[in-house]
Amino acid sequence: MIVPLEHILILAVILFLMGLACTLVRRGNLIMMLVGIEIMLNAAITAFVAGSAAWGKMDGQLFALFIIAMTSAEVSLALAMVVYLHRKRSTLNADAFSRMKG
Partner 1 sequence: MTVLFYLLALVATVATFLCITERHPVHAVVYLVTSFFSLAVIFYLLGAPLVAAFEVIIYAGAIMVLFLFSIMMIRPEVTEIDLHPGFRDWWPALLLGGILLAALGYTIFSQPLRQGTVSPGEIREFARLLFQKYGVAVEIVSLQLLFALVGAHYLGGRRR
Minimum Å distance from CB 59 to partner 1?
7
Within 13 A of 13's CA, how many CA atoms are on the CB side?
Answer: 6
Among 6, 27, 55, 65, which residue interacts with partner 1 (rule: CB under 8 A)? 65
Torsion of CA 18, 3, 41, 39, to 10 degrees: 30
CB-based contacts of 63: which residues, under 8 Å, 6+ apart? Answer: 48
Report if residue 96 touches partner 1, rule: CB under 8 A. Answer: no
Neighbour tally for 4: CB within 10 Å: 11
User: Using the rule CB under 8 A, is 18 a contact of partner 1?
Assistant: yes
Binding site for partner 1 (CB under 8 A): 1-3, 7-8, 11, 14-15, 18-19, 21-22, 25-26, 29, 31-32, 34-36, 38-39, 42, 45-46, 49-50, 52-53, 58-59, 61-62, 64-66, 68-77, 79-84, 86-87, 91-92
